[in-house]
Amino acid sequence: MKRIISPTITLIIALSTLPFMSCTQSDGNQQSASSSQVEGGILMTEISPNPSSKEASVSSNIGTMSTQLEKGTQAPITVTVKGSIHPEVWKPGETATIEFSGFPKNATELQAVQEQYGNRPEVAVLLELMAFEIYNHDKEEGKNCLEIVNVTNNVSSVEQILKDRYNPQYGDYYTPFLVATYLEGASPENAYKVNHPFTIKVRSHKVNKYQDSNSLKGTVLYLEVYSSGYDTPWRGISVTKQKGCPYYKAVNCPALYTQCKPVSFKIDEEYTDIWLQ
């Protein structure tokens, strides 16, 4: 059994006012949405065009933004999408590569990423993995994050399994490297060391077509994300953007948190917490 390096990380979050755009949903029957401008330190510096709208690119002045960040504050998280998953027309195997500069450490930072990029279906996959990793470090904060990026009915299913995946008392079921398996460069043979910038690959399912759902009040998109931690590397996740909500959220994703391969016993290296890689 490999020893897991997972030191305590002290976070200093220097945020001014940060109102949110949010949507609430109860069993797919009622939703509301409100929006306001993100202020303070968590600002996005890049956005790739939404395939359903005119091509656009938004950037902010990094020099000005850096003056808003006090020493010790995490730099703003940037996301770049190469390719796209069409939100309305199913195209089997359509692929998008997502690069991002870092992981949010709490619900505030996660929601800031969602507000900037969450209107793209492929980014819903990234947000789910980000929420998993926050849960790995802080169960209470992680549950808040799961509620942000999942439809209501999926939250308890995900949390029930993650409690075991991120519990050191569960022996081989303890897999703190779960999210690392989805990142480019990681493998059981290198103790899941990842490339930078952090990168994941998402594609539309090659068989399952999009389906409208009256109960969810949205079209369900069946996607897959690549992982080196399984013999079947493309892992399924379905997402939807419910009526009245501006963001895509995870609907069902059991393939994302099933038992993955441990760090290979043939090497002497140990897994290093992904927040430190």
The answer to whether the pTM exceeds 0.85 is no
Nearest to 119 by CA among 214, 235, 213, 249: 249
Q: Specify whether the backbone of 93 is left (phi greater than 0), alpha (psi in -120 to 50) or beta.
A: left
Structural domain includes residue 11: no
Structural domain includes residue 166: yes
Structural domain includes residue 13: no
Tens-digit pLDDT string for the chain (277 aa):
444 544 433 333 333 333 334 465 444 433 333 333 333 333 333 444 444 433 333 333 323 233 233 334 577 899 999 999 999 999 999 999 999 999 999 999 999 999 999 999 999 999 999 999 999 999 999 999 999 999 999 999 999 999 999 999 988 889 999 999 999 999 999 999 999 999 999 999 999 999 999 999 999 999 999 999 999 999 999 999 999 999 999 999 999 999 999 999 999 999 999 999 9
Structural domain includes residue 58: yes
Which residues are paired to 249 by β-bridges?
A: 240
Structural domain includes residue 9: no
What is the model's pLDDT at position 171?
84
Burial of 194 (0-12, 13-18, 19+ CB in 10 A): buried
Structural domain includes residue 251: yes
Nearest to 176 by CA among 13, 5, 22: 5
Structural domain includes residue 14: no
Give the range of the structural domain holding residue 118, as residue numbers without chain letter. Answer: 22-276
Nearest to 4 by CA among 248, 177, 254: 177
What is the model's pLDDT at position 204?
98
Q: How many domains, the chain? A: 1
What is the model's pLDDT at position 170?
87
What is the model's pLDDT at position 205?
98
d(CA 116, CA 63): 20
Structural domain includes residue 231: yes
What is the model's pLDDT at position 31?
39
Cα–Cα distances (Å) from 82 to 47, 148, 202, 222, in that order, read 11, 25, 10, 19
Angle between helices 107-117 and 121-137 (to 10 degrees): 170
Cβ contacts of residue 117 below 8 Å, gap of 6+? Answer: 44, 47, 79, 81, 123
